[in-house]
Amino acid sequence: MVRIAIEGADQRFDRGGVAGCALSLLEAGLRAVDPAEAVRRSVRREGESLWAGGTEYPLAGGKVLLLAAGKAAGGMAAALEAVLRGWLGGGLVAVPPGALLPPLSLPVREAGHPLPDEASRSCAEEVARLLQGARPEDLVVVALSGGASALWSLPAGALELADLRETTRLLQRSGASIEEINTVRKHLDLLKGGGIPLLAPKTRLLGLILSDVVGDRLDMVASGPTMPDPSRFSDAWRVLERRDLCDRVPITVRDRLLAGLAGTLPETPKPGHPAFARVENLCVGSAQDAVAAILRSAREQGCAAACLTSSLQGESAPAGLFLGNILREEALHDRPLPRPCLLLAAGETTVRVTGTGRGGRNLELGLAAASCLAGLGRSVLLASLASDGSDGSSEAAGVLVDGESWMRAESTGLDPASLLASNDSLAFFQAAGGLLRTGPTGTNVNDFSLLLAR
């Protein structure tokens, strides 16, 4: 079980008070999205048949090929190995460096994240070989979770891996959403945007997906390698226009997208394409499972509890100001809920990097919220956590913020407003305290911001 630690914990942030309540709620949310449990809830074997989502997959006469990629790939693969014991005929598990891994019989490959590397290309090439060797009587099970986009990378056409790396880096620093980033990736990479069924068009394919995308758009999780792609080259080009990147991405990327716009390259496979006739996809878990568990746990602890949104998006700093002001309203006017209470926001914000500091979307959200909470003391607390245990460049998982955080940073001689402007939220929390550490959690289903008031 993942246990969240508070770095440099002091009397304000210990597991005996409101901070302890916040950590227990976050841990309950993480338990609810354990990837192995998610698979076990969704998939079972009865004799010579695999059942998933109410559909039967006869196993006799063929073999099962298991391909797993993402931050939750280890747990998902372990559960599937147990279910398919005696029927597995091969496969591959791709994970980020240092991923939390249970014992596995399948080969495991570490590859680049958040930017693809040569190991990512090698993984993708191995996946392509395995798919091309699959027979009509076989079953291919593809277990996907957030992070797989970088772990499998097979550049299309004349593109090089360096082109994909640079384009991804520019999109991430521009503040682009995961939907925007993956829309572009789908048109630059042969595995993404429905690429897997094209490599094994006569083989049965089952996609099992742990969603890390707001709204659970399965075609966006891991850039949709098993899903029809509704987006077009024009959508990818508009992302670059919106993020002012048309003249900054590598020339090969620009040339490929323009060729697609001109109709000289085929579009990604759309709904109704014959390659998907033998494909089914099932969402085995998402942030909604964690939201339900957090609310249930809060009520069991005697708190009034409500979810403000499970679709929090946009830039981190404005989101933090919004949530901070809601918590300030709670502290000053005992609304929108009677205290003690929990208000929850789940989703994934973005950071437009303009400064040279270190941080992440949860840290930046927390720093912005701290300005709204200043002077309110310890009766209010905001906790924000990345469910995968990694928040940007901070090496932390998230933060705790109370009504003293802003002043504590100021007392060390720091200017919190300047730190926010330079994207240096890590320096703020190193001074104010409240950094949360988990290490890799083995799962990935968005971020969670808890607003607690006593």
pLDDT digits (tens, 9 = 90+) for 267-322: 999 999 999 999 999 999 999 999 999 999 999 999 999 999 999 999 999 999 99
Average pLDDT over residues 183-207: 97
Query: Which of 3.40.50.10180, 3.30.460.10, 3.40.50.300, 3.30.300.180 would CATH assign to domain 35-154+189-231+268-285?
Result: 3.40.50.10180
Instruction: Give the pLDDT confidence score for residue 62 in this predicted structure.
Output: 93
The SS3 assignment for 381 reads: strand
Using alpha carbons only, give the angle 191, 35, 115 rounded to the nearest 5 degrees.
40
Q: Quick check: do 5-32+288-453 and 35-154+189-231+268-285 share a fold?
A: no
Residue 212 has pLDDT above 80, yes or no: yes
Average pLDDT over residues 32-38: 97
List beta partners, residue 142.
67, 207
Q: Which residues of 211-226 are buried (b: 16+ CB within 10 A; e: fewer)?
A: bbbbebebbbbbbbbb
Q: What percent of the chain has pLDDT over 90?
A: 95
Domain ranges of the chain: 5-32+288-453, 35-154+189-231+268-285
Q: What percent of the chain has pLDDT over 70?
A: 99
| Superfamily of segment(s) 5-32+288-453 | MOFRL domain (3.40.1480.10)
pLDDT level of residue 17 (50, 70, 90 thresholds)? confident
pLDDT level of residue 9 (50, 70, 90 thresholds)? low
Q: Give CA separation, 265 vs 219, 268, 440, in Å.
A: 21, 9, 40
pLDDT digits (tens, 9 = 90+) for 318-345: 999 999 999 999 999 999 999 999 999 9
List beta partners, residue 46.
49
Contact, 57 vs 48, CB < 8 A?
Answer: no
